[in-house]
Every structure is written in structure tokens, then in C-alpha cells.
Structure 1
Amino acid sequence: MAAVLRPPWRIGVDVGGTFTDLVVIDAAGAIHIAKSPTTPADPTEGVLAAVALAARQLDLPVTGLLRDCALFIHGSTIATNTVLGGKGAKVGLIATQGFRDTLEIRRGLRADSWDHRPPWPDVIVPRKRRLAVDERVDRRGMVTRPLDPESLSRALRTLKGEGAEAVVICLLNSFLNDSHERACHELIAREWPDVWISRSSQVAPIMGEYERVSTTTIDACVAPRVVPYLRALDERLRGLGLLRRLALVQSNGGIVSVEQVAARPVTLVLSGPAAGVGAIRSLSRAAGSSDLICIEIGGTSCDVTMMQAGEIAMTDQLDVAGYHVNIPSVEIHTIGTGGGTIAGVDRGGMLWVGPHGAGARPGPACYGLGGEEPTVTDAQLVLGRLKSGSYAGGLILLDERRAAEAIERRVARPLGIDNTAAAAGMIRLMEQKVRHAVERVSIERGYDPARFTLVAGGGAGAMHAAAVARALGCRGVYVPRLAGVFCAFGMCNSDVRHDYVQSWLGDLDTTDAQRFAAAFAALDAKGRAMLEAEGFGPNRVALHRLLDLKYTGQQWTIPVAITLPFDPRAIRAAFEESYSRLYGHHQPDGNIEIINLRLAASGLLPAVELMAEAAAGGAPAPSEIRNVYVDEHHGRRPVRVYAGADLRPGQSVAGPAIVEEATTTVVVGAGDVLSVDPYRNYAIALAEARP
């Protein structure tokens, strides 16, 4: 019998590489999930297929499911995939005379400063489409040479002849005075009304010529591909009965409408993974902790996000396929490690795992779709933690024989060991990489992971979380039963958010308090006006103010949250605390510069209240006993396997054990204890760390 939903409800849809995940949360907090195969050629069809599947499962017409939807939120990697796949628009660049090569010169920065061999990615805009105009604004924002319209017209004629689909306008010092950029925009719109225009003073009004032009170029690259897709999806959904506009998740974790994101589609580059913020905040309430580190492990990657004292770590420095993007974003550290990560043995006889993956097609060897390389999923199957059969509602079938053959051929035989040892080695090496990824966002930023609870998201996260948390010394593990649809669930818990930035360029100690207050008042007014137009009253608006600060002579800034009125002593103390945590020292009485003023204006949506259940008595009964490899100390042994649907709040399970949920599988280590909370999520108390 289909579940009966209580309207209105929210729908979140996350388009992943393999599956399109859909979550429906109704007014009573009841949750329904649906998974359908992603259609890379046309993501719209994948979204609509997931909606149709959910409607069938709920015994509702599609029009009924959409008509009573109060909020339909979509997250997608389409912007990122456009860049990764080199399928972006043909872009032309308008720059100040003498500065058209900034995009190619870059800053010379590399992830590893000692490794100069890897080539830079291709420049998105070749030199023949990078053209200069005659104008100049100095470092104080004063016009020293007026814009020459004829030089712009000549450039446009060249770009038209080159077949450009989008034009970037990035002029020197326009973050201080954008009058010339606005004039260029108006002239291009008149002379070439069909071309997409991205203006740096609108997309990224920041100091740093390279960061500004790179960000705006990515915006122009993805816009002609992403915006038409979103508008078409919006119209399709409205034609099927959706009464409200489609909402999109931005890289900052907040949501906006299609028309709002159309002004800056570059803000969608982390649209899918950033939706996990909403899930983390919801789980923080359920878990009773404001210090969480989330590992979301899917088929191809592991995304690591940290919440400290209730605040999600943010950044404005992104790297997308080697291209720099400077936008407010959730700080997500991603590594190429997931269920589909391939393993092998190199010429020196060393085992390696990743970063390459098998993808959705052909996928792991156990899928039986033509894949021959052993993957992490194959290793879990050989170890007995997964079993042969159907998963994800029958969308995939696992075959242990195929998995064993692949590991024997590519790992066990070359190493001269048996399949169990080979599979266990693959898992240990993969988990070591996840551990290092967690250390990257915690220890390297001055935070001890022992203070945090590790949250396991993604379809594969719960299989590795206990081992990783034990190695890190974390105080426990929390596994949401919706781990396999983590981001889609998070979308239903996201607020509306708009970010604003204004360059300041002044010393902290000599800043005029009245001028400072007036600048933030102007930003506040913009944020409030935008949210008011979207229907948010004063009591549903939250303003979060920050400053980008640095010591004189240094290049990189540190964001520091502030409150008004302006208090330079308190700001200095907060900056020095952050600086000391990051670098182990600070400069007493050092000169601090304010580089940017930042405002995050959020429209607060009612929090989704999940259904809590009363505790049940009695010990749970396992669904089967399976021969499973536990760890190097316990080897293979009979292990109790439980069906997650049969476990009730208040019940507990002693490890070693396995819990099979609809969207994930939980591995409970020897000596660990898993407890079911009132929301039917799982809290794992870890045994003492083993050497």
C-alpha cells in the first residue's frame, strides 16, 4: 500500500553520475525516496523520470505530486561537467589594452609547488578571441583614459567573425569603478543582442585581476549551456503541474530561483555537493552535536565537509578542472575515491587504488556490464560486506563471481596473495586516503578531529566510516538512514541565500567607523530588498557579515565574522585567533588590512521537522548470518546481518555486524555498538582505537 502524504511537501532532486535521487518530505516530516538512472545526454529526462517514478510509488498522478509541492529544489553538476568535458560555449574576452593575456599568464600557482611538470589546462579563450579596448581606470578607481567606443566596436566585429557565443568583459580595476564595464555591456547589448554577456564587476567584483577574469570566463563558458537547460526544465515542470518556480542549489549551499541564478550561473559549479549543507544542519539537530565532519562517498568521489560550532566551513577559492573560480562556496575537499575506484598493481609490485574510476558504464566488474578492472565495490563484495543480488530497487545487480575474478587477475595474482588479503588491502588503502582527506579539512586548519563526530553520507560512506573514525580518534559515527540520497535530502533543508561583496582596501585601525557602517548598511539594504521581494518578512531574514583580512605584505586573506557596531579591537582578536589556529603564531600589533566586506543574506525557510518514533523494546533479530571479513585482527567469521527496516528506535546492535538499508550498507566494527535514534538514524559508539 502506497504511503499517504500530508501536503504541502518539498521535493529535492539531485542528478548524480549514476543515479538521479529524489526525496519527498511532507508536512508531517514523513520521507519518501526514489532513484532512477541518470540520463547524461539529457538530464531533464532523468529528473522527469524520477518524478514519474515517485508519483507511481505514491499512487499519485504526476500533476498531483507537483501541484501540492511547496518547494521543488534541484541540484546538478551540469555546470561542472560542462567545464570538465570541454563542452562550454565559444567565449570572447574584452580586456584593457595591455592586459588581454592575464588569463593565460595566470599566477603560476600549483597545488604542489615542487611539481612543475603537469601542463596547465587549455586556455578557455585563445589569444585570437582575447581583444583589447582603449581605456584605463587607475588603482584608486579614477578614470585616466576614457573608454574608446570605436575600439570596442572593432573588437566585436572580430569576435562575431570568430563565431563567439558569449563575451566576457573584464577591465582593469573595475572592482573599484565599473563605469567602463557597464558602458561596454550597454554597447554590446545594442550591437549584438543575441550574445551572452558576462561582466566581471557583476560576477566577481574582487581585487585580483586573474581571479576576476578566470571566474567571469567560467561564467560565460557555462551560461549558454546551463541557463537554457534550467529554463526548459522549469517550464516542463510547470507544464506538468508545478505551481512555483524551480529553485537551484548554489555553491554556497543556499537556494535561488532560475532567473536569479541566470545572472551568475558560475555559482552552480558545486550545486550538487553543496546541498549536503542542509543535510548536515538537519543531522546536527538530530545528533545533538554542532561539531561534525561529513564524508560523502559515492561511486566516483569522496566529498569532505566540516561543521565547527554550528558553522559550515566556507571558501572563495575553487579549482574546477585547473581553472580558478572565486565565488562564495561551501568548503568541500574532494578526492577521487568511491565505490567505483579502480585498483591495480604497478610495475614495482605496489598496490594502488585510484584516482581513476570505472564510472556508471561499464562500472565495477561485479555489475556485469563489461567492466574488467577491480574496484572498491568488488572488494567489499569479496569480503562479504556486500552480497550478490539487486540493489537500489533493482537498478543494479552485483555478482560476486565477477568481482572475485577481477581481483584475482589484477591484484591477488600479481601480489602473490589470496583474494581476501587483496580485497582487504584495497579497502585499507582506500580508507587511508579518506583519512588524509579528513585531516586536510581538520588538522591542517587547526582542528582536532577527536572533537568531532564523523557523519557517513553517500551510498558507500557507512561502509568505511567506523574504520576511518577510529583511525582519526573521532568520538563517534552518525549514519543517516538516507545516506544514499544525502544531497537530495539536504536540498529540502536549505535556505534561500544571496552573497554580496564590496572591496574596501584600508587599514583596520584607521578605518572610519561611520563610513564602515554606511558601507555595510548599503549591503544590508541590498540583501533585505532581495529577500523582501521573495516574500521574506523581517523575522525570517538573517544577515551574516564578514571581513576578508590580512597582514600587510601578505597575499591571502582570512575571513572573520563580525558584528556591528564596528569594534576594531574585537575584530583584531578574532583575526589573531584564526591566524594562530592556522599557522601556529600571529604578529602582535601587526598592521591588519581590510580587503573586502562580505554579506550573506539568508531567507529562512521553516525547518523540516522529521518524524520521531517512540523507543521499542527487545533485541533485534538478524535477517541472516554471513561469513564476513571483519578486520586484520579478527579475519573472516560469521557476522550478524540486520535489515534496517526491521530495526526500531531504542534498539542496539553489537559489532561486528552489518545493517542493510535501502540506500546504504552500514559496517559495524568489532567492539563497536550501533544504536538506533528516534529518527531511525544510526549512532555508532566506537571501541578503543587499535594500533
Structure 2
Amino acid sequence: MSIGSVNKTDLNQKPTATAPWRIGVDVGGTFTDLVVADATGALFTFKSPTNVPNPAIGVIAAVELAANGLGISVQSLLANCRVFVHGSTIATNTILERKGAVVGLLATEGFRDALEIRRGFREDAWDHRTPFPDPIVPRHLRLPVRERMDKSGCPIRAPEPESIERAIDTFRREGVTSVAICLLNSYRNDRHERMCAQLVRKSWPEVWLSISADIAPVLGEYERTSTTVLNAYVTPRVVPYLRQLEQDLRAQGLAYPLLLIQSNGGAASVEQLVDRAAMLALSGPAAGASALRAVADMAKRDDLLLMEIGGTSCDVTLMNGGEIAMVDSFSLNDYHLTLPSVDIHSISGGGGTIAAVDSGGLLNVGPHGAGARPGPACYSLGGDDPTVTDAHLLLGRMRPGPFAGGLITLDLTLARSAIEDKIAAPLRLDAISAASGVIRLLEQSLQHAIERVSVERGHDPRRFLLVAGGGAGALHAVPVARALGCPAVYVPRLAGVFCAFGMCSTDIREDFLETWLKLLDQQSSDDIDRGFSQLVASAKTRLAASGFALSDISFERSVDLRYVGQQWSLQVPVNSWEAWSVRAEFETRHQRQFGHYQPDGQIEIVHLRLVGIARLGRVRRPDLPALETTPVPCERRSVYLNRTSGFQTVPVYDGNEMRPGQAVSGPALIEEKNTTILIGLGDRLEVDASDNFLIHVTNPAE
């Protein structure tokens, strides 16, 4: 059990939490993290092993662990909880593992192959051989509807009921359990899709149904079809799981609805997501956006780069000027989803990432991971593949013995054996050189991942503070920051449960969109206001149905713009409508993103976007007074720093005993309950007024 409280509760006694509180639960590949934020702002953290086959078991186990750690019953813990937010990986894993429903697709006659034709381009322009993954819906289950809507949304031919009935008969015979409806030009007029849905529900009421007009009413036939199909694919698996989990929590005392983190970084109730389960595709990592906003408040900086490293992956997110980078589409395992999402670039790069030597004699780190079980070789749970954690243990950066509050025990002998047998011997290296190579290769991948969301989008990393999240982030942050040129690294106390912490400060969020397709210079403020007024009415209705008063709801407006003839658009915030001001902002963003803009180019408004937000409030703690004492190391240990310095005997500090105002110089290790911080020669670490760790990096890359 791991109990951590930033208010420094004595861990030899049961910590005391003040009701009411919030609970955030993040299901990771190795651990399920739970954070309790009480009414005073005190934070308590707990970790439980993830149950991969059934994540709900890990959630309930974490709740029981928290109740025991706080010295109260599960009933009392849940009854006094006002906000319970869950980050679920079940939608993501359903897509990645291809374990979703049998889906049937109703498409306009002549267009059923849009799903397989895709867009024709590849992520890697030089790779012409790797095939795309098989379509979620095979061709014999992509069936035509005889209907037609023109490009302006004017009906040409109403849906033929007989074609729909024939398709339903085929779907029944083939064992389809979920139906997706995506008709041509329905983003301009959804009448025909509604008619099809009505016929399907009438003759087959028990089938799961996904309608593109509800899921992704956007321009782009392939993108809209793919998103709707994926929603149909995950819904029958995700919704029953979430309903059962909510039922179990309510039976044990939870009085308020279970909230889920969506890909857009906001929360929604289970019932709000019944028809839009695909919105959970990045649930969990997207909570990092809320945590990053909290970090911005604590660090008093609004230019941040988040590198969140857990057991299986590294998720990178950028905040520029207080604005979290968002995207309107993303892909999972090369399956396309057009949904609002926090811009998260993920790579295989966690503590459980497996290192191996391929048939050509090259060292690779990832993409496969050891998971929670059997886990890294040093976990003593049956795994024998060397991982990043094994490498750190061999290099002295992690301590052998009990880990994560005693949940597991790290065995140095097993770590050494795995690296010697599977890395060092094939490469004809000693074990230390092999382990060092694993770390260097991973950190190079981490550097490239951060450059992907910064340099490639026109942002200079040298003006950003690098935030280390996740249990493994602080072991790699300083070397990566040095390579990128970041002047400093920020390690929150709750880095090891970063996303679960973010869930305690998230808001309810709903996204709305309308396709516009009109020239920017021809739109008056009245035209735009009329368009947004319809979206505002929809947002008020949906959020009011969730129990929020209109005074609790705020709105954020933006438009998707592009030059006429351009395929891709850029999103520009709209506070008040002045065409020249919107144009100027678009040109600034276009210059940064693409390196040029057209001073006299015609700009088209593709979509109007509205975000409706119901504020749940943030977890806030007052700054703490500074101490002038010098921390005393709890031990000295031989630690491998880098190729130049090799092994050095460095001081090791108990981070739980360090207070605001205290500072140490590197090289050193700081061991926290859920993470370990490594600082190099000449670096300086200080505990700031928010009780987090700020590391000033020496000799950053020019």
C-alpha cells in the first residue's frame, strides 16, 4: 500500500481526510492510481495493481485500499465523495486489441467502400508496403441504402425502406450486434440518417445504434464513417462495463453519478456517453490536461511541456500561453477518429517497456511492454524480458527491495540476469553498458516525442518548462531537458499519480459543431452569432439535463478556418467577431504551423465550434512557508550518471522529508513515494512554495 499526502501526514498513523472529498481513479497498464482530494486541499494517494482482464476489479480494489488507508469504511469513503472521476482504458484497449462488437454499416448506395479506400496517403510517405489494418467492418457487412442528399443538404431521394430491411435481415444472420449509419452529406442535413435510424429501431430495438450526425457531423466522408464505425465497435463493450461499475459503486455508498474523462480532457457522466463511447478513446491520458493547468498555477508558468511516463507509455502534451494544445482528429492503431481531443503524442516508453536485440543485431526499446504481470524481470512475477526498470535498477538509480509501498519487490539479481542474457551477450557488451544503452535509446525517443509536439508545430522548447509526470518521468526528465534546451524541470509531488490528480480538478465538458462552409470576409457578426446561438441552445439543454444551472455553465467559441482549396483547417478562438482580427490570428497560426501564409488569400470558415463547460471547481492549496535548513541525505549510493561520469557515489534524499525552501545540488537522487528524481552534476533542485520540485538544468543544449 502506498499512502502519500502532500500535507505530510505521519505515515505511521492513519491520515485524516476532511469531508467532503473528490476521488480520481486512473487505470494504467501496471497500476491503478487513486487520489483523494479533501475539503482542505490535502491530497492522499494510493496504488493498486491493475487487473488487465477486468479493470473494474482494480478500481474497486483501489477504493478499498484508500478506505483502509484513511481508517474509514468503503461506505463512508464513497458516501462523503462529491465527485468521483474515472479514467478508463477499456475503449482504447478494445480498439487496439480488436475485441469490439460485430458491426454492420449502412452507407449510401455506391459509397460503402469509403471505409476501406481511406484517404490514400500514409503517415510515412516512404513506406509503400506496410498494409493498412483490416477495416473494422468487412465488405459483406457494409450494405447500401438507396437514398441521396446533395452537397448543400437538399434531399434528392428519400431512403428506400426495402434496402434498409434487407440490410437488417443480413445483419441478423451474420451476428451483428451494433449498427453504424453514415450517409452521404449528412453533415449538412441529417434527415435521412434519422429516418434510417427510426426504421432500424422499430424492427430491431435491441441492437446498439450509432449515427454519424450524433457522433461526428463533419466534412469528410471517410473520417465521419471511420469515427461512427469505431463508436459502434466500442459501445457494446464499454457502456455495460461502465454501468456495472457505477452500479457497484452506488451499492457501496456513492451518491453522485460516476464521471468519465473524455478525450477532450473534460468529464461526462455514463449516461451522457451512452451513445458516444468513442469519446473515451483517450480517457486517462487526457486528464493530464487538467493536471497541467494545476501545475501552471503552482509553478506560475504557462508555457509547459508535459512528459508523463508510466509503466507502458509516454504521453506528451504542450501548453502554450496557458492554452492546452487540442486536435480535432487522431488515430489509434491507424484507425481514424474525428473527435475533439487533447493533443497527446504517445510512444512506447514506460518503466515496463521491453528492450531487445533484433535479428540484425540492433538494440530496440519497445514497442512491447511487460505489463503489470509478469512485469519487468526484477518484479519476480515470472517475467524474464529486460525492461527500462531493470536497467535503472542495475544502474543504481532505483533501490532493490520493496517498491511502490510494498506492492512489489525489486530483485537486482533477476534484473542483471535478464540484461546480461538478452542484451549484453548478443551485443558483446558488459551488463552496465547494455543497461546504459537501453536508457540512452529510450531518452532519445522521448526527446523526439517532445519535438513532435513542439518543434514540428513551431514552438521552441527552450522557452518551456518541462513537467515530469508519471512514476518514471523524473528519472528521465533532466537528461531530456538538457538535450532539448529546456532551462528547468518541474516535478509535482503527485507525479506518480499525475492523471488521477488531474481528474480531481476536471470540469464537465461538452463539444458541439456545425459545418459552415462560408467565406470569412462575407460573414457579419450577426451571421456568426446566429450560428453560435443554435449551438449554445444545444449545450444548455444537454448540460441542464445533467443537473447544472445556467449560471454554472460557460462557453468557448472557435472557428475552423482554411484557405479556399486547402484540405486542412486550423482552429482559431473567437471571443468577439471582427473579421480582420480573426484573419490576423489565423495568419499567425498558419505561419507558425506551416512557415508561411497568404496575405490576400481567401479564407473559408469550415466549422463553428462551441465548448460548453460546467465548472466543478479546482483543488487548491495555499503556498507553504519556506525553511532555511539544509536537507540531510538518508544514504549515499553508487549511481551510474552518464557515459562521461560513469558511476559516482551520490547522496540520496528522502523527498517526503524535504520542505519548501530547501535545496540540493547534483548529482543526487531524491526518492519519493511514487517516483524517483535523478539530477546530474551541476543541476540544482529546490522545493518551491507549492511543495513541488523545481530543477534548474545546467548546460542545456544550445
- Give the TM-score category using the shorter length: over 0.9
Q: What is the alpha-carbon distance in structure 2 between the residues aligned to residue 245 and residue 272 of structure 1? A: 18
Q: What is the alpha-carbon distance in structure 1 between the residues aligned to residue 579 and residue 628 of structure 2? A: 57
Q: Which runs of 5+ in 1 are unaligned?
A: none
In structure 2, the residue matched to 1:610 is 621
Deviations 1:247-281 (A, max 9, x none): 11100000011100112110000011001111101
Deviations 1:312-353 (A, max 9, x none): 000012111111000000000001111122223344443322
In structure 2, the residue matched to 1:152 is 164
Distance change in 2, residues 1:347/1:95 (3 Å): closer
Does residue 163 in structure 1 map to residue 175 in structure 2? yes
How far 1:119 sits from its partner (Å)? 1.5
Matched residue type, 1:471: A
Q: What does 1:137-536 align with in structure 2 at a 5 Å threshold?
A: 137-536=149-548
The secondary structure found in structure 2 opposite 1:509 is helix
1:576 to 570, 587, 599: 587
Q: What is the alpha-carbon distance in structure 2 between the residues aligned to residue 609 and residue 49 of structure 1? A: 27
Contact 1:28–1:611 (CA under 8 A) maintained in structure 2: no
The secondary structure found in structure 2 opposite 1:241 is coil
**Greater shift in the superposed pair: 437-446 or 633-642:** 633-642
In structure 2, the residue matched to 1:544 is 556
Q: What is the alpha-carbon distance in structure 1 between the residues aligned to residue 36 and residue 559 of structure 2? A: 38
Matched residue type, 2:175: G
Does residue 76 in structure 1 map to residue 76 in structure 2? no
In structure 1, the residue matched to 2:690 is 679
Deviations 1:460-488 (A, max 9, x none): 00000001001101121000111111111
**Greater shift in the superposed pair: 176-185 or 510-519:** 510-519
Matched residue type, 1:158: T
How far 1:548 sits from its partner (Å)? 0.9
Matched residue type, 2:324: I
Q: What is the alpha-carbon distance in structure 1 between the residues aligned to residue 401 and residue 101 of structure 2? A: 43
In structure 2, the residue matched to 1:118 is 130
The secondary structure found in structure 1 opposite 2:534 is helix
In structure 2, the residue matched to 1:622 is 633
Deviations 1:101-154 (A, max 9, x none): 111111112110110211111111111111111110000111111211121111
Contact 2:485–2:701 (CA under 8 A) maintained in structure 1: no
**Greater shift in the superposed pair: 415-424 or 75-84:** 415-424
1:585 to 591, 596, 613: 596
Q: How many residues align?
A: 690
Q: What is the alpha-carbon distance in structure 2 between the residues aligned to residue 555 and residue 168 of structure 1? A: 26
Contact 2:32–2:62 (CA under 8 A) maintained in structure 1: yes
Q: What is the alpha-carbon distance in structure 2 between the residues aligned to residue 652 and residue 134 of structure 1? A: 72
The secondary structure found in structure 2 opposite 1:410 is helix
Q: What is the alpha-carbon distance in structure 1 between the residues aligned to residue 51 and residue 643 of structure 2? A: 41
How far 1:376 sits from its partner (Å)? 1.1
Contact 2:49–2:372 (CA under 8 A) maintained in structure 1: no
Matched residue type, 1:86: R
Contact 2:682–2:698 (CA under 8 A) maintained in structure 1: yes
Matched residue type, 2:599: P
Contact 2:28–2:310 (CA under 8 A) maintained in structure 1: no
Matched residue type, 2:341: S
In structure 2, the residue matched to 1:595 is 606
Q: What is the alpha-carbon distance in structure 2 between the residues aligned to residue 232 and residue 690 of structure 1? A: 51
Contact 1:30–1:611 (CA under 8 A) maintained in structure 2: no
Q: What is the alpha-carbon distance in structure 2 between the residues aligned to residue 537 and residue 359 of structure 1? A: 43
In structure 1, the residue matched to 2:107 is 95
Distance change in 2, residues 1:401/1:39 (3 Å): same
The secondary structure found in structure 1 opposite 2:612 is strand
Query: TM-score of the superposition, structure 1-length normalised?
Result: 0.98
In structure 2, the residue matched to 1:656 is 667
The secondary structure found in structure 1 opposite 2:279 is helix
Matched residue type, 1:314: M
Deviations 1:206-246 (A, max 9, x none): 01000001000000000010001111111111111111010
Contact 2:30–2:312 (CA under 8 A) maintained in structure 1: no
How far 1:537 sits from its partner (Å)? 4.1
Q: Which runs of 5+ in 2 are unaligned?
A: 1-12
In structure 2, the residue matched to 1:50 is 62
The secondary structure found in structure 2 opposite 1:12 is strand
In structure 1, the residue matched to 2:567 is 555
- RMSD of aligned C-alpha atoms? 1.3
Q: What is the alpha-carbon distance in structure 2 between the residues aligned to residue 600 and residue 318 of structure 1? A: 19
Deviations 1:621-640 (A, max 9, x none): 11110011112222211100
The secondary structure found in structure 2 opposite 1:544 is strand
**Greater shift in the superposed pair: 678-687 or 164-173:** 678-687
In structure 1, the residue matched to 2:32 is 20
**Greater shift in the superposed pair: 346-355 or 591-600:** 346-355
